[in-house]
C-alpha cells in the first residue's frame, strides 16, 4: 500500500481522536450552564407547566434550607410532594441528629396550597414554635424548624 | 422579568449513540491502518468485527435506555473507544511477535471485553439502586481483604515476574487485586459516610490545621499498614500506592480537612523511605527511575520505552510502523508507551484527554449525587481510575518510579478490563440516580403524596 495512503490514515486517526474529544467536550458543556435564565415574556414556556394548577404556579416553587448544616440547599417543589428526613431515600436528606428517618412530608393540596404532615417524628416539627401535626397549611416564607434545621418555602 | 428555571436534564441517550458509532468508526479505521501497514491489505473480517463490536456496545446502550435512562451519556463512548484502541494495539503487537490466529492475545482480549460489557450490563440489572451497596459495607471490606490476600495462598497463588498478584484456577489466571479495588472503594465509602462527622469535626487546631484525635487515626493507620503489607508481601508497589492514595483521597472528600492529606502524605513518605531502605526490589525500581540509561542497570525496559516514545515524536510513526514490541510487556504495562510511539504526542494527549474526561464525568456524578454514600463511591471510583493513570503514565515517563499497574481499558489482561467495566457500570448507575429529575424519583419514593390523605385546611392536631 502506498506511503501516501498510510500517512493520510495516520493523520486521519489523530484528527478523528481529537474530533471525538471535542465532541465529548461539546456534549458536556451543559455542566457549565446548569441553570438557564428565561425571560417570561415571549420566552419558551416551561415544559409541563400546563399540567400544574394555576395556583401552584403562582405559589412557592422551591423549598430552601435557611439554617442548619445544609444551609443553602434548595429542592424544587412539584405536585408529587416531598419527603424530608434522615433516611437516604428521602427527597431532602437531612444530616440533623434531631431529625427522624421519615420526618416530614410536604404535599400540594387540591386547592393549590402546600401542606405539611409531621410523620410522627420523635423530636417534632415546629412552625412558630408550635409543634405541628398533620395537614398544616404553609405559606411562602413560613419557617419550618426540624431540630437545628430551618426550612422555608420560596417562590 | 426573568425567572431562573433549573436546566431540565436531557437523557442524552441519542448523544450517546452517536458518539458510540463515532468511537467504533475510529477503532475500525485504526484496525484498517494496522492491517494495511503490517499485512498490506484491508483486514478481511473488518465488517464482521465491526458489526460484532457495534452489536455488543449498542446492546449495552439499549440496556441503558431501558434500565438507566438518565445515566451519563459520555461514559460508555469513552470507555468503548479506549477499549477498542487497546484491542487494535494488542493485535498489532501480536502481529509483531509473529503470533497467528488461535494464539492471539487480542483474541482472548476480545472475549474479555465482551465479558466485561456483559458483566457491566448485569451489574446495572442487579443493582437497581447503588445505595443497597451500603448495606454490605463490612462484607465489602472482608471481600476486599480476602481478594487482596488470595495470591498469597498456596496452590492457587501464582507468581509472575517477581510479583505475587495472580491466582490460577483451572488454567485461568486472574488478578484479584483489580476487583478488590472496587470492593474496598465500596467499603471506604460506606465507612466514611458513617464516621465523617467524627473525623472532620473533632480535634484541635494547630498552625491553621485541624488535627484529628489520636483515636480517630485508627482507620488511616490500618489502611497504611495494609498497603505496606501488600508492598512487602506481594512486592507490588503500584497497587500499594493505589490503595493508600484512594483511601486518603476519599478521606479528604468525606471530611474536607487538608490535615488528612498531609498526614497521609507524610505517612506514605515515611513508609516508602523505610521500604526503600529495607527491600532490594524497591531499590531496583528507584535506581532505574533515577538512571534508566545506566549500562549496568538490571532492566532496560524504562530506557527502551523512553527511546520508543522519542521515536514517535509529535505525530507518531503511524500504527504498525514503529517498534513498540522491542519493549517488554509492550501490550500490558507498557501499552501506553506503544501508543506514544505510534500515535505520537498528539495522539497520546488525546487519549489522556479521554481519561481526564472519564474521571471528570465520575467526579461530576459525585457532585450531582444527593446522598453521601453515592458521592463518596463515585468520587472514589473516578479517583481510582485517575490515580492509576497517573501511576502508569508517570512511571513510564519517569515522573515517579515505574510500578506495575495496568492501564485501564488498554492493557492486555482480563481482570483489569472486567473491573473497569464494572466501575463504569457503577458510575452509570449512580449518575442515573443523580440526574433523574425530581418528579420521577419522588413518585417512587413518596407513594401517597397527593390525595391519599385529604388535608384539612387550617387544621392541625
pLDDT tens, position by position, B365-422: 998 888 889 999 999 999 999 999 999 999 989 998 888 788 999 988 888 999 999 9
Q: Which of A85-89, B110-114, B269-273 has the lowest mean pLDDT?
A: A85-89
User: CB atoms < 10 A from the CB of B447, how many?
Assistant: 10
Task: Check residue B5 and give its pLDDT.
Answer: 55
| Nearest-CB residue to B461 (from A81, A108, A134) | A134
Per-residue pLDDT tens over the stretch B156-205 = 776 666 666 777 766 667 788 888 889 989 998 998 888 877 777 766 66
Nearest-CB residue to A24 (from B41, B78, B441): B78
Angstrom distance (rounded) from CA B382 to CA B376: 10
CA distance B28 to chain A (A): 10
Which pLDDT score is estimated for B385? 94
pLDDT tens readout for residues A34-62: 545 555 554 444 444 444 444 445 678 88
- DSSP states of B112-178 as a string? HHHHHHHHHHHHHHH-SSGGGGGGGHHHHHHHHHHHHHGGGSTTTEEEETTEEEEEEETTEEE-HHH
Q: Which of A12, A34, A80 sits opposite B7 (nearest CB)?
A: A34
B201 to chain A, closest Cα gap in Å: 12
ipTM for this prediction = 0.85
Query: DSSP state, A50?
Result: G
Q: What is the mean pLDDT of chain B?
A: 83
pLDDT (tens digit per residue) in B37-49: 888 888 888 888 8
- Smallest Cα distance from B435 to chain A, Å: 12
Cα distance from A14 to chain B (closest Cα, Å)?
Answer: 5
Contact B1 A41 (CB under 8 A): yes
Collapsing DSSP states into helix, strand and coil, what is residue A13?
Answer: helix
- The string of pLDDT tens digits covering residues B199-225 is 777 666 666 666 666 666 777 777 778
Residue B327 has pLDDT above 80, yes or no: yes
For residue B360, what pLDDT is reported? Answer: 93
Q: Look at B455 and A31 and tell me if their CB atoms are within 8 Å.
A: no
Q: Cβ B457–A108 below 8 Å, yes or no?
A: no
Helix-strand-coil split of chain A, %, nearest 5 = 25, 30, 45
Which pLDDT band holds residue B130 (cuts at 50, 70, 90)? confident
Paired with B91 in beta bridges are: none
Q: Which of A10, A104, A142 is the best substitution to test chain B (most B C-beta atoms within 10 A)?
A: A10
Interchain contact, A14 vs B343, CB within 8 Å = yes
Buried b (16+ CB within 10 A) or exposed e, B206-244: eeeebbbeeebbeebeebbebbbebbeebbbbbbbbbbb
Interface check A38 vs B, CB under 8 A: yes
pLDDT at res. A22? 93
In sequence order, which ranges of B213-257 are alpha helices (DSSP H)? Answer: 218-234, 237-255
User: What tens digit of pLDDT does each residue of B448-461 get?
Assistant: 333 333 333 333 33
pLDDT at B114 (0 to 100)? 92
Nearest CA in chain B to A102: B446
Distance of residue B381 Cα from the nearest chain A Cα, in angstroms: 20
- Is there a contact between B22 and B77 (Cβ–Cβ < 8 Å)? yes
CB contact under 8 A, B3 and A27: no
Q: Give the per-residue pLDDT at A51.
A: 47
pTM higher than 0.80 for the full model?
Answer: no
pLDDT at B442 over 50: no
Amino acid at each position: 500500500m502506498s506511503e501516501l495512503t498510510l500517512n493520510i490514515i495516520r493523520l486521519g486517526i489523530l484528527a478523528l481522536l481529537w474530533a471525538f474529544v471535542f465532541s465529548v467536550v461539546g456534549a458536556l458543556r451543559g455542566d457549565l450552564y446548569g441553570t438557564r435564565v428565561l425571560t417570561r415574556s415571549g420566552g419558551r414556556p416551561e415544559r409541563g407547566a400546563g399540567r400544574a394548577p394555576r395556583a401552584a404556579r403562582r405559589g412557592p416553587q422551591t423549598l430552601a434550607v435557611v439554617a442548619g448544616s445544609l444551609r443553602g440547599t434548595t429542592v424544587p417543589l412539584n405536585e408529587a410532594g416531598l419527603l424530608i428526613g434522615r433516611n437516604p431515600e428521602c427527597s431532602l436528606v437531612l444530616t440533623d441528629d434531631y431529625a427522624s428517618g421519615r420526618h416530614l412530608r410536604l404535599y400540594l393540596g387540591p386547592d393549590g396550597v402546600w401542606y405539611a404532615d409531621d410523620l410522627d417524628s420523635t423530636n417534632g416539627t415546629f412552625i412558630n414554635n408550635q409543634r405541628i401535626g398533620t395537614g398544616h397549611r404553609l405559606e411562602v416564607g413560613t419557617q419550618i424548624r426540624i431540630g437545628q434545621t430551618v426550612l422555608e418555602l420560596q417562590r | 422579568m426573568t425567572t431562573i428555571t433549573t436546566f431540565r436534564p436531557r437523557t442524552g441517550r441519542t448523544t450517546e449513540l452517536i458518539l458510540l458509532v463515532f468511537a467504533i468508526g475510529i477503532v475500525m479505521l485504526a484496525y484498517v491502518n494496522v492491517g494495511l501497514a503490517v499485512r498490506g491489505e484491508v483486514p478481511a473480517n473488518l465488517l464482521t468485527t465491526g458489526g460484532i463490536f457495534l452489536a455488543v456496545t449498542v446492546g449495552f446502550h439499549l440496556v441503558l435506555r431501558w434500565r438507566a435512562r438518565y445515566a451519563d451519556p459520555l461514559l460508555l463512548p469513552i470507555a468503548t473507544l479506549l477499549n477498542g484502541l487497546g484491542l487494535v494495539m494488542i493485535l498489532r503487537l501480536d502481529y509483531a511477535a509473529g503470533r497467528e490466529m488461535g494464539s492471539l492475545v487480542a483474541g482472548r482480549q476480545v472475549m474479555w471485553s465482551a465479558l466485561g460489557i456483559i458483566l457491566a450490563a448485569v451489574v446495572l440489572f442487579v443493582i437497581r439502586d447503588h445505595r443497597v451497596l451500603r448495606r454490605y459495607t463490612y462484607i465489602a471490606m472482608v471481600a476486599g481483604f480476602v481478594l487482596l490476600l488470595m495470591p498469597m495462598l498456596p496452590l492457587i497463588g501464582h507468581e509472575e515476574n517477581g510479583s505475587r498478584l495472580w491466582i490460577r484456577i483451572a488454567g485461568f489466571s486472574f488478578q484479584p487485586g483489580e476487583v478488590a479495588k472496587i470492593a474496598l472503594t465500596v467499603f471506604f465509602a460506606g465507612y466514611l459516610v458513617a464516621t465523617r462527622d467524627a473525623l472532620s469535626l473533632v480535634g484541635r487546631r494547630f498552625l491553621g490545621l485541624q488535627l484529628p484525635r489520636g483515636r480517630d487515626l485508627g482507620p488511616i493507620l490500618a489502611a497504611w499498614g495494609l498497603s505496606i503489607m501488600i508492598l512487602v508481601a506481594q512486592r507490588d508497589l503500584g497497587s500499594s500506592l493505589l490503595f493508600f492514595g484512594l483511601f486518603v483521597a476519599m478521606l479528604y472528600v468525606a471530611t474536607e480537612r487538608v490535615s488528612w492529606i498531609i498526614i497521609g502524605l507524610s505517612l506514605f513518605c515515611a513508609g516508602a523511605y523505610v521500604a526503600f531502605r529495607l527491600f532490594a526490589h524497591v531499590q531496583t525500581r528507584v535506581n532505574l527511575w533515577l538512571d534508566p540509561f545506566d549500562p549496568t542497570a538490571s532492566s532496560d525496559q524504562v530506557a527502551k520505552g523512553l527511546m520508543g516514545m522519542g521515536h514517535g515524536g509529535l505525530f507518531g510513526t503511524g500504527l504498525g510502523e514503529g517498534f513498540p514490541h522491542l519493549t517488554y510487556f509492550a501490550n500490558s504495562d507498557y501499552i501506553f508507551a506503544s501508543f506514544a510511539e505510534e500515535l505520537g504526542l498528539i495522539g497520546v494527549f488525546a487519549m489522556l484527554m479521554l481519561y481526564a474526561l472519564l474521571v471528570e464525568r465520575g467526579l461530576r456524578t459525585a457532585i450531582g449525587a444527593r446522598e453521601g454514600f453515592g458521592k463518596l463511591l463515585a468520587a472514589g471510583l473516578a479517583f481510582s481510575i485517575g490515580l492509576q493513570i497517573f501511576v502508569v503514565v508517570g512511571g513510564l515517563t519517569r515522573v515517579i518510579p515505574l510500578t506495575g499497574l495496568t492501564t485501564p481499558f488498554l492493557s492486555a489482561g482480563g481482570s483489569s478490563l472486567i473491573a473497569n467495566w464494572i466501575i463504569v457500570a457503577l458510575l452509570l448507575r449512580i449518575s442515573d440516580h443523580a440526574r433523574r429529575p425530581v418528579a420521577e424519583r419522588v413518585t417512587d419514593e413518596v407513594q401517597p403524596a397527593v390525595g391519599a390523605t385529604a388535608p384539612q385546611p387550617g387544621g392541625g392536631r
